[in-house]
Structure 1
Amino acid sequence: MGTPVASGSQPEPIRRALPPGLERSCGGDRLTLAPPGDGLPRLEGAFSGRAYGPHRHDSYALGVTLAGVQGFRYRGAWTASTPGRLMVLHPDEVHDGEAGTAGGFRYRMVYLAPHRVAAALGARARGLPFVRVPVSGDPRLALAVGAAVADLDHPLEPLARDQVVMTLAEALLALDPSAARGGRTAPTCPRAVEQARAFLEAHCTRRVDATDLEAVTGLDRYTLARQFRARLGTSPYRYLTLRRLDRARAALWRGAPLADAACGAGFADQSHMTRQFTRTYGLPPGRWRALAGGAGAADLSRPGRGRRSTTE
């Protein structure tokens, strides 16, 4: 890391997996979101200049650059992805995004929750795979990412989703053999972590206290926090915040005013949601909806009267 990744020809697995038309050049800034509902957020983006400010996700961000030079800062170094190269960003790692050339860049990305990786790998892994090199041309990863982002027009059917999760998880484990069972790390408590995760997801719109999680899991708050991060790659509070943001994004997409989206998702107020949203996605919520095409984005000052557009 630290220097741009050399460009290379687009891997054959990516060429086979993507439908016709994805070789067009980058246009104006935009986000195209796959329909929600399959549990695997997917998108296509096109940007010129500065794309995203520093932000982080509680999921793996796995993607492929389709056109241009996609630059980003990650783990203290700047690197770049070129057409056909694959990207792997670990949960909770700060990164940004910018065009490496005047022509901009275009990419597709899938966001894979750590608990899905853990479930798919089961006893084969002792922890979350960590891929140290964020940009590669690994053919196994190319097949997995290509299958995940090939069709953004429809949700993945359940069996297809399960297959995508499995192939992505196995590709990650292959790129980090040290995560395979047998290494020297403290054992995790998968049942307790899953209980905490499910509780946070079910109660994300209300205040959740550490005593709630202690009662659910039987672990003290500090042990649970360590176990949660070891297995899911982030803290319980950040996981709770991300679930609130999931609800806020869905409401914004439907055209809800920012204040209503914030209240319905469990945030203290609109400014609280805006800060968390921008910190997480690198864009304020109005900008996200304008780019992604959510309802009401054409006239954010008069909710419900604009044409369909997006802001994340």
Structure 2
Amino acid sequence: MPSASESKDWVKFAQTPGKIERIEAYFSGHGYEPHRHDTYAIGRTLSGVQSFHYRGSQQHSLPGGTMVLHPDELHDGEAGTIEGFQYRMLYIDPALIQKILGGKPLPFIPGGISSDPRLFAATESLLKGLEESVDTLEEEDALYDLANTLAMVGGQRFRRCAFDYRRAERAREYIQTEFSQNITLETLSAVSGRDRWSLSRDFRALYGTSPYRYVTMRRLEYCRRLIEKGLSLAEAAVEAGFSDQSHMTRQFIKTLGISPGRWQKIIQNSRA
């Protein structure tokens, strides 16, 4: 029979399919025995103290830092205080990182914990609540950011590269006309004739934003026009290519600073 404290423990898995496994968990005391993954385990402690043994020393993860456990490194886990600990974690196949870095050594973060704000920012979209979906392009976009940030924080240096404007522009023009469709980085690669990760790098350098953000902004612009024409929020969301109204609402607030409902009322009031 589990103890009273063990009965409080829980683990939840993201239900949306993707290349990256996402979990959230709570442990009131002892979490797990020493074990190792063949993936990166990258996460964030949400509350409490998350203690673990890693490479010969005991580490303590607190809210605000980022855990980066290297593939095939032995580690365990337990609560550092009587309050227990809650955390979110990503499990990422090193092959996904390697495809972006192109044969460079896998980045290593000493101690398994980093306070670097660049790494915290690079994991933000992937470590959001499990109830929030991560679409394919958003995941690929975030993975590109994360791989390069890991390399920078881990001390790797990059050579200057030439950018292919013609192919990046071909991808941008495709987004302009097809933003309401399910666009993936693979789709843009096929359209442009450029490999996915080179295209993602070129797009950022040439247009100041990522392919995912560019798609999202085109959808939000279209939503605003549809709302101004009198469509309901749900109709505007679907028409613009968002998965549902709540998805559109989150992006609307995040990008524009107000909810689409408030925007709708502002438009209505301005016409009264």
Query: TM-score, normalization: structure 2?
Result: 0.53
Contact 2:45 2:64 in 1 (8 A): yes
Secondary structure of the residue that 1:177 maps to in structure 2?
coil
Distance, in Å, in 1 between the alignment partners of 2:73 and 2:119 is 20
1:214-270 deviation digits (Å, cap 9, x = unpaired): xxxxxxxxxxxxxxxxxxxxxxxxxxxxxxxxxxxxxxxxxxxxxxxxxxxxxxxxx
Matches within 5 A, 1:29-68: 29-68=9-48
The yes-or-no answer on 1:130 pairing with 2:118 is no
> Would you say how many aligned residue pairs link Structure 1 and Structure 2?
153
Kindly name which structure, 1 or 2, has the bigger radius of gyration based on alpha carbons.
2
Q: CA deviation at 1:153?
A: 2.1
Distance 1:179 1:106 in 2: 34
Instruction: Render the CA deviation track for 1:26-68: whole Å, top value 9, x for unaligned.
Output: x921011101520110011100111010111111111111100
Q: Give the equivalent residue in structure 2 for 1:142.
A: 120
Distance 2:93 2:107 in 1: 12
Mark the runs of 5 or more structure 2 residues left unpaired by the alignment: 1-6, 160-272
Other-structure match for 2:229: none
Runs of 4+ with deviation above 3 angstroms:
178-181
Tell whether the 8 Å contact from 2:59 to 2:111 is kept in structure 1 after alignment. no
> Is the 2:40–2:92 Cα contact (8 Å) retained in structure 1?
yes
Amino acid at match of 2:55: R
Equivalent-residue separation in structure 2 for 1:40 and 1:109 (angstroms): 10
Counterparts of 1:209-228 in structure 2, within 5 Å, are none
Q: Output the CA distance in 1 between the equivalents of 2:13 and 2:153.
A: 28
Is 1:171 aligned to residue 141 of structure 2? no
Pairing of 1:44-193 with structure 2 (within 5 A): 44-122=24-102, 126-178=104-156
What is the aligned-residue identity percentage? 43
* Alpha-carbon spacing, 1:93–1:41, altered in 2? closer, same or farther (3 Å): same
Cα pair 1:126 1:180 within 8 Å, conserved = no
Residue identity matched to 1:98: E
**Structure 1's 180 and 97: CA in aligned 2 closer, same or farther, altered over 3 A?**
farther
Tell me the CA shift for residue 150 of structure 1. Answer: 0.8
Q: 1:179 to 1:47 in 2, by over 3 A?
A: farther
> Normalising to structure 1: TM-score of the pair?
0.47
Q: Shift of the alpha carbon at 1:135?
A: 1.3
Contact 1:61 1:90 in 2 (8 A): yes
CA distance in 1, matches of 2:41, 2:117: 17
Q: Please report the RMSD computed on the Cα atoms of aligned residues, expressed in angstroms.
A: 1.8
Using CA pairs under 8 Å that are at least 6 residues apart, name the structure with larger relative contact order, 1 or 2: 1
Unaligned runs of 5+ in 1: 1-26, 182-312
